[in-house]
Amino acid sequence: MQLIKKIFVFPRILYFLLPIIIIGFVFTNLASNSVEVSSIEFIGEATLPKGLIFQKTEVGGLSGITYNAKSNLYYAISDDRGQKAAARFYTLKIDLSKGVLQKGGITPVSVTTLLNENGQTFRPGETDTEGIALTNKETVFISSEGDAAKLINPFIKEFSPSSGKEIVTLPIPNKFLPDQNGQKGIRNNLAFESLTITPDKKHLFTATENALIQDGVAAKPNIGSPCRILQYNLLNNQPEKEFLYQTEPVAPFLNLIGKFASGLPDLLALDNQGHFLSLERSFTGLGFAISLFQISLEGADDIHNIDSLLAVDSKNIKPVQKKLLLDLRTLDVLLDNIEGLTLGPKLPDSQQSLILVSDNNFNSLQRTQILAFKIKIETPLMRLLRRLLLDFGQKEEVRECDSRNKNYAS
């Protein structure tokens, strides 16, 4: 009889696992693709030689980067406005095979010249290419800031990596386009720096680096700027939503030269539910301030029907949620003008890599800098399981401690 009772008595661990299985099923069908970065670790820095000439072009101005997992290669867009060579992007190899980025870990592989719809190179000054994102068709979308001073519109175009030929141009909402009176649209050199595509490849996002003229002021010392995140549906290539993103106010440090710049240079989609990494970059007069945030569109108001934030009470608009992930000034690294980020491959320990790249502005005093990180990305289910296992482990320790105390007492 005692044996029969023991057979039918579930171990404590099964009572613990049963609700987890049920909860796991629910999360799998509801929100298992929603993720959060729970930790980040710096794993190395590498730079390209100053003035590097590759395939008759000067490598520099790398303002955006995206990763092709199939080839284990990266595409990095140059923001050269046609002064050094025609508009182009570089294919790079970044060696993370040992779980770290070593000094000589970057190798240029090829350069691709961008061609317009007529198969011709873009004219000097016609583009200011800043963002790049890979599609599931092995093509790339590239964003250009245009030139507000010359009434050259920003663009987001799809290109073939093999030929460099333009394939598709996405429509830009009128509120973003500059006008001759300077009363609306993008500010010069503060437009579509960022570009990212969701993992399911259904949505593309870009953002203005600073506020549209009709939305508010550009960033100033101790004053942030209200940017717009613009969402496209790649099933029909149409813009569909916009969200308010407020950059952080940054205090200059020993700004003897009087120059200051701050804004949102890149976004990186982490999932299909509106969770991103955002990069904020400031020149503070003495070096750069670079911050990495986790952001969420959950609960943020869609403002695509609002042409001017100054014309409404913007205090009633819910912006995207932000949480500081890392202030890069805490690293033991001399930071350069970091403008782009992308997820890289899984590292040897199965953790996810993250790559950041700097725009050297073709300036001899600056560097093309690559920073590598190891990040831990968790779904809500993973976080729940970790917490439950931690709680269970703590309770087991308490039980064992109580049991030992009782044995000592007896």
- Terminal CA-to-CA distance of the chain, rounded, Å? 29
Beta pairing, strands 275-283 & 288-296: antiparallel
Which residue from 59, 18, 31 is spatially nearest to 359, judged by alpha carbons? 59
Q: What is the mean pLDDT of residues 147-171?
A: 96
Measure the CA–CA gap between 181 and 55, rounded to whole angstroms. 42
Rounded Cα gap, residues 260 and 219, in angstroms: 9
Residue 309, pLDDT > 80, answer yes
Report the DSSP beta bridge partners of residue 121.
Answer: 115
**Tell me: the pLDDT tens digits for 334-354?**
999 999 999 999 999 999 999
Average pLDDT score, the chain: 89
Predicted local confidence at residue 408, as pLDDT: 57
Residue 5 has pLDDT above 50, yes or no: no
* pLDDT of amino acid 397: 61
Weakest mean pLDDT among 11-15, 54-58, 215-219, 301-305: 11-15
Summarised one tens digit per residue, pLDDT across range 177-198 is 999 999 999 999 999 999 999 9
Stronger pLDDT, 274 or 256, i.e. the higher one: 274
Residue 240 has pLDDT above 50, yes or no: yes
Q: How far apart are CA 314 and CA 301, in angstroms?
A: 11
Split at pLDDT 50, 70, 90, the class of 31 is very low
Average confidence (pLDDT) over 381-387: 58
Q: Give, in degrees to the nearest 5, the angle at Cα 289 between 277 and 271.
A: 0
d(CA 80, CA 61): 6
- Give residue 181's identity as a one-letter amino acid code: N
pLDDT tens-place string over residues 64-104: 999 999 999 999 999 999 999 999 999 999 999 999 999 99
pTM comes to 0.87
**Distance separating alpha carbons of residues 348 and 338, to the nearest angstrom:** 26
* Residue 368 predicted with pLDDT over 70: yes
Predicted confidence (pLDDT) per residue in 102-122, tens digit: 999 999 999 999 999 999 999
Does 409 score more than 50 pLDDT? yes
Q: How far apart are CA 129 and CA 222, in angstroms?
A: 29
